[in-house]
């Protein structure tokens, strides 16, 4: 290329940049207007007070609406517009006979014109070709442009021509091959994103979603969608963007029922926590399985074997037996004094009462009244026979009314109630489970099928629950039941009344609508009836109105969600699936995971096996095949490990090289601390984050190396996360400490976006033989890692 060509290109690019800047300035101008409008409306709403309940609830809903709008506009501020597609003339043509569509984080309409879109929300159907068009299937798109910005300034653009004619017009076709030389724009934007140093928090990927990911994000499948993909294929990113897409597309339905996202641990939830807010979505409940049972926070850990046992379906019988064991028969006849007479509750009487209650097939607490009635009836008969005989010395002359009085007195008699409570107590799930873990005799009785050593893994002396306890508490809650019929009836009545009131309020508003709009002369003013129906308005009026859907759902064990997304779904135990499925009766779920990465012994290696009981074969499998995280040099090593886990599994294809050769360094036991410290020290000279991944027992030994950018963690802790560099310590111990140790090794190796080093004192596992052995990390990458 000649000097004058280069100057010409630079001038052309500067002109294009200036044009795009002008357009983007206009978008920011509109964003500022929208923000000002929402702020003013919000201020007005907040200043108003008093009025009828309807007026108050309407204010409440507007308050929420404008607050949500402001959050959405703030989230869109950075990178408001990131792309543009030019399509062959179809809608409004530009000068050169093409239609330009701008793609961004929110939708913005042209209010000066006739409400044409100035900016398309990335989730809108019209924005889709931005993600899908390829030279083979351009879908009418002639050029895709990525816009790079810094705050409100456009600092770069990259074009991809999808048809040769358009490329020729733009003068970017290599005459000898006919190929569009600028055809790497999507790729360059993607590679720039993938190469960037990590911050410890995940970013959204709206600017560079790839077509196989887009198909999953927008999938119309209404049952269980399983997304299987190797490490770094974007499963988590896809799951989060799918949540944002579904909320955009099915807003009304999902706003009310809510979306639940399950992740493996709180570090992971923290890592992904900013993605949805950055997409303007704040109403999603993120939780671990361990925290899903309301009111219980998991504070202790099980042993690997203990967790495995608690996750197995054997626990169903254990839970059932644990509850039945609380329905006791007296060893000796129980004597109670009522009205100075001694009555006897013998084993047979209690057994008959218990049989009657059990055959009601109701949960324990709900069946209790049946037991109480049977016991009271028996005691009342006994009392009547003694007293009746004493009174007349012959046949019993007590009337039915007398007997009824006696029964009601007995029901309130403290001595009788004490005995009934002992024989059929009202129970909470927490009481039953704590009793089981604390009392070896109870455990032996409830779990006769377990060996003594397995039972020892379950016994716990201290307080608190573990993550694997949550599904058991949920199971027990089902077996015990809560007798809340009176409360339910009361709230159903209150709810019907609220809907009636809300409908009345909406009718009044509808009646005065035209007049209101004429007065205001502003079509942007939304009326209450535009944005909600009576049920939604009634919800706002509810006692819980200041709570968001996610907050209400989190506090209610019986809440059923509109959609559930599970990340690292392969880790869920059978008992956890049972718990989760109760919360999603419509089975509209997205499950993302990788059966080669299963680390929890209670987890699964077969999707069919875990889903069969709930949806039979009505679930759909989709796969992601490209690894966006791990460079090819590291994946070559991971390949041998994967072959050991499951030779049939395909390794995802790495999209890039890092130029760094993964290395291994063997040191003496005495030299390990210094070697790890030196490797970490070398990393701190470079940008980004480092993980020192260690066997369970070594965490505290290296904890002093932790800093803002360095984490010392076990494989379990780094599941789902990524770091610029990973240093794996003593891989043979990582493999040895779990029945799924090889999968753990695979997870550890695939966390790095750039560099991998292994430090060991004993021989490496066979599968790591591909590492470059070195005396110093620098020696493994002699040209500075190039
Ligand atoms: N289309 C994309 N554009 C930019 N970055 C992407 C894209 N897809 C994935 N990434 C990035 O690749 C990395 C890996 O993605 P993610 O964590 O979602 O993978 P994963 O499949 O969940 O991995 P694992 O199973 O190993 O936990 C992340 O940094 C993510 O932001």
Q: What percent of the chain has pLDDT over 90?
A: 65
Is the pTM value of this prediction over 0.90? no
SS3 563: strand
> Across the strands, what pairs with 690?
710, 725
Query: What ipTM was reported for this prediction?
Result: 0.99
Ligand 1 mean position, distance from CA 776 (Å): 31
Nearest Cα neighbor of 660 from 556, 565, 774 is 774
SS3 751: coil
Ligand 1 mean position, distance from CA 197 (Å): 14
Ligand 1 nearest-atom number relative to CA 203: 31
Give the closest residue (by CA) to ligand 1 atom 3.
208
Neighbours of 8 (CB within 10 A): 13
Ligand 1 nearest-atom number relative to CA 592: 22
Instruction: Tell whether the model's pLDDT for residue 502 goes beyond 80.
Output: no
Specify the range with the lowest mean pLDDT, choosing from 365-369, 479-483, 615-619.
Answer: 479-483
pLDDT tens digits, one per residue of 591-630 = 999 999 898 899 998 999 999 999 999 999 999 999 999 9
Residue 118 belongs to what H/E stretch?
Answer: strand 117-121
d(CA 586, CA 246): 15
pLDDT tens digits, one per residue of 26-58 = 999 999 999 999 999 999 988 887 777 777 778
Question: 414 or 489: whose pLDDT is higher?
Answer: 414
Residue set of the binding site = 229-236
Question: 233 or 490: whose pLDDT is higher?
Answer: 233
Q: How many helices (H) and strands (E) does the chain have?
A: 34, 22
Question: 483 or 473: whose pLDDT is higher?
Answer: 473
Task: Give the pLDDT score at 33.
Answer: 95
Q: Which residues have CB under 8 Å from 312's CB, separation 6+?
A: 573, 574, 575, 602
CA 668 from chain centre, in angstroms, equals: 43
Ligand 1 mean position, distance from CA 167 (Å): 31
Pairing of strands 619-624, 224-229: parallel
Ligand 1 mean position, distance from CA 670 (Å): 38
Task: Answer whether 254's CB lies under 8 Å from 184's CB.
Answer: no
Task: Answer whether 574's CB lies under 8 Å from 606's CB.
Answer: no
Identify the band that residue 743 occupies on the pLDDT scale cut at 50, 70 and 90: very high
Residue set of the binding site for ATP = 229-236
Question: 166 or 466: whose pLDDT is higher?
Answer: 466
Alpha helix stretches (DSSP H) within 711-783: 715-718, 731-736, 741-749, 777-780
The overall average pLDDT reported for the chain is 87
Ligand 1 mean position, distance from CA 237 (Å): 6
* Whole-Å CA distances, 594 to 109, 154, 236, 722: 41, 39, 11, 16
Ligand 1 mean position, distance from CA 722 (Å): 9
Nearest Cα neighbor of 34 from 116, 147, 110 is 110
Nearest Cα neighbor of 216 from 191, 181, 244 is 244
Instruction: Tell whether the model's pLDDT for residue 681 goes beyond 90.
Output: yes
d(CA 687, CA 707): 14
> Rounded mean pLDDT of 575-580?
97
Q: Which residues have CB under 8 Å from 596's CB, separation 6+?
A: 230, 642, 645, 646, 649, 743, 746
Task: Answer whether 718's CB lies under 8 Å from 693's CB.
Answer: yes
Provide the angle, in degrees to the nearest 10, between the axes of the packed helices 53-76 and 3-47. Answer: 160
User: Structural domains in the chain?
Assistant: 15-161 (no CATH), 233-292+558-621 (3.40.50.300), 293-324+435-510+527-555 (no CATH), 327-422 (no CATH), 630-771 (3.40.50.300)
Task: Give the pLDDT score at 701.
Answer: 97
Give the closest residue (by CA) to ligand 1 atom 15.
234
Question: 516 or 57: whose pLDDT is higher?
Answer: 57
SS3 348: helix
DSSP state of 765: P
Pocket of ligand 1 (CB under 6 A): 190, 193-194, 202-203, 205, 208-210, 213, 229, 231-237, 594, 597, 628-629, 720, 722, 750
Give the closest residue (by CA) to ligand 1 atom 26.
231
Give the closest residue (by CA) to ligand 1 atom 13.
629
Specify the range with the lowest mean pLDDT, choosing from 88-92, 130-134, 161-165, 659-663.
Answer: 88-92
Alpha helix stretches (DSSP H) within 585-698: 607-615, 632-645, 672-684
Instruction: Tell whether the model's pLDDT for residue 650 goes beyond 70.
Output: yes
Mutational pocket test of ligand 1: of 209, 629, 649, 658, the residue with most ligand atoms within 8 Å of the beta carbon: 629
* Whole-Å CA distances, 672 to 493, 679, 680, 733: 69, 11, 12, 14
Specify the range with the lowest mean pLDDT, choosing from 90-104, 323-337, 484-498, 709-723.
Answer: 484-498
Provide the angle, in degrees to the nearest 10, between the axes of the packed helices 574-582 and 304-311. Answer: 50
Pairing of strands 117-121, 108-109: antiparallel
> Rounded mean pLDDT of 154-179?
69
d(CA 748, CA 282): 31
């Amino acid at each position: 290329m000649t000097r004058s060509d280069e100057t010409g290109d630079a001038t052309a690019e500067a002109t294009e940049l200036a044009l795009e800047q002008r357009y983007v300035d206009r978008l920011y101008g509109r964003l500022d207007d929208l923000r000002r409008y929402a702020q003013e409306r919000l201020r007005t709403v907040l200043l108003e007070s008093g009025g009828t309940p309807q007026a108050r609830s309407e204010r409440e809903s507007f308050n929420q609406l404008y607050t949500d709008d402001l959050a959405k506009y703030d989230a869109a501020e950075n990178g408001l517009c990131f792309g543009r597609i030019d399509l062959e003339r179809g809608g409004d043509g530009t000068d050169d006979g093409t239609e330009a569509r701008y793609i961004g984080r929110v939708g913005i309409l042209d209010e000066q014109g006739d409400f044409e879109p100035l900016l398309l929300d990335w989730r809108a159907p019209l924005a889709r070709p931005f993600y899908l068009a390829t030279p083979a299937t351009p879908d009418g798109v002639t050029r895709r442009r990525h816009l790079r910005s810094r705050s409100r300034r456009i600092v770069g653009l990259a074009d991809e021509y999808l048809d040769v004619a358009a490329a020729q017009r733009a003068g970017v076709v290599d005459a000898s091959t006919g190929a569009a030389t600028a055809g790497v724009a999507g790729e360059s934007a993607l590679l720039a994103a993938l190469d960037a140093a990590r911050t410890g928090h995940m970013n959204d990927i709206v600017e560079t979603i790839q077509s196989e990911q887009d198909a999953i994000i927008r999938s119309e499948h209404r049952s269980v969608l399983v997304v299987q993909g190797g490490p770094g294929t974007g499963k988590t990113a896809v799951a989060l963007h799918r949540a944002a897409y579904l909320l955009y597309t099915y807003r009304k339905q999902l706003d009310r029922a809510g979306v639940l996202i399950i992740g493996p641990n709180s570090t992971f939830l923290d890592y992904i926590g900013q993605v949805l807010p950055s997409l303007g979505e704040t109403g999603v409940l993120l939780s671990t399985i361990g925290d899903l049972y309301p009111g219980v926070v998991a504070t202790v850990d099980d042993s690997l074997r203990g967790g495995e046992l608690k996750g197995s379906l054997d626990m169903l019988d254990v839970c059932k037996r644990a509850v039945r064991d609380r329905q006791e028969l007296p060893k000796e006849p129980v004597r109670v004094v009522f009205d100075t007479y001694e009555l006897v509750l013998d084993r047979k009487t209690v057994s008959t009462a218990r049989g009657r209650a059990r055959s009601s097939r109701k949960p324990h607490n709900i069946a209790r009244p049946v037991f109480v009635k049977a016991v009271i009836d028996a005691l009342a008969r006994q009392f009547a026979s003694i007293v009746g005989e004493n009174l007349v010395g012959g046949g019993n002359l007590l009337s039915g009314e007398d007997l009824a009085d006696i029964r009601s007195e007995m029901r309130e008699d403290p001595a009788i109630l004490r005995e009934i409570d002992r024989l059929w107590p009202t129970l909470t799930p927490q009481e039953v489970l704590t009793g089981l873990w604390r009392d070896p005799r109870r455990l032996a009785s409830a779990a006769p099928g377990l060996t003594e050593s397995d039972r020892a893994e379950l016994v716990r002396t201290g307080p608190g629950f573990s993550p694997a306890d949550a599904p058991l508490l949920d199971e027990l809650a089902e077996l015990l039941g809560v007798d809340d019929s009176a409360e339910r009836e009361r709230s159903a009545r209150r709810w019907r009344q609220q809907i009636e009131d809300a409908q009345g309020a909406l009718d009044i508003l509808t009646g005065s609508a035209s007049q209101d709009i004429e007065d205001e002369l502003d079509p942007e003013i939304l009326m209450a009836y535009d944005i909600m129906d009576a049920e939604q308005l009634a919800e706002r009026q509810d006692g819980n109105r200041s709570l968001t859907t996610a907050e209400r759902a989190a506090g209610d064990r019986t809440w059923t969600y509109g959609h559930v997304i599970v990340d690292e779904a392969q880790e869920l135990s059978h008992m956890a699936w049972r718990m989760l499925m109760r919360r999603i009766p419509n089975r509209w779920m997205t499950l993302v995971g990788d059966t080669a990465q299963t680390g929890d012994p209670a987890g699964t290696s077969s999707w069919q096996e875990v889903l069969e009981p709930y949806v039979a074969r009505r679930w759909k499998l989709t796969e992601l095949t490209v690894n966006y995280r791990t460079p090819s040099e590291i994946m070559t090593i991971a390949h041998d490990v994967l072959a050991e886990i499951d030779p049939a599994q395909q390794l995802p294809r790495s999209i890039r090289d890092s130029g760094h050769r993964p290395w291994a360094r063997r040191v003496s036991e005495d030299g390990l601390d210094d070697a790890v410290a030196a490797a970490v020290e070398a990393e701190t000279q470079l940008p980004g984050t480092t993980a020192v991944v260690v066997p369970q027992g070594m965490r505290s030994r290296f904890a002093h190396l932790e800093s803002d950018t360095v984490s010392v963690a076990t494989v379990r802790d780094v599941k789902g996360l990524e770091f610029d560099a990973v240093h794996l310590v003593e891989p043979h111990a990582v493999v040895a400490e779990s029945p799924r140790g090889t999968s753990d090794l695979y997870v550890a190796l695939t966390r790095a976006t750039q560099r991998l080093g292994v430090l060991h004192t004993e021989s490496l596992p066979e599968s790591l033989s591909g590492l470059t052995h070195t005396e110093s990390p620098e020696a493994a990458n002699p040209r500075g890692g190039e």
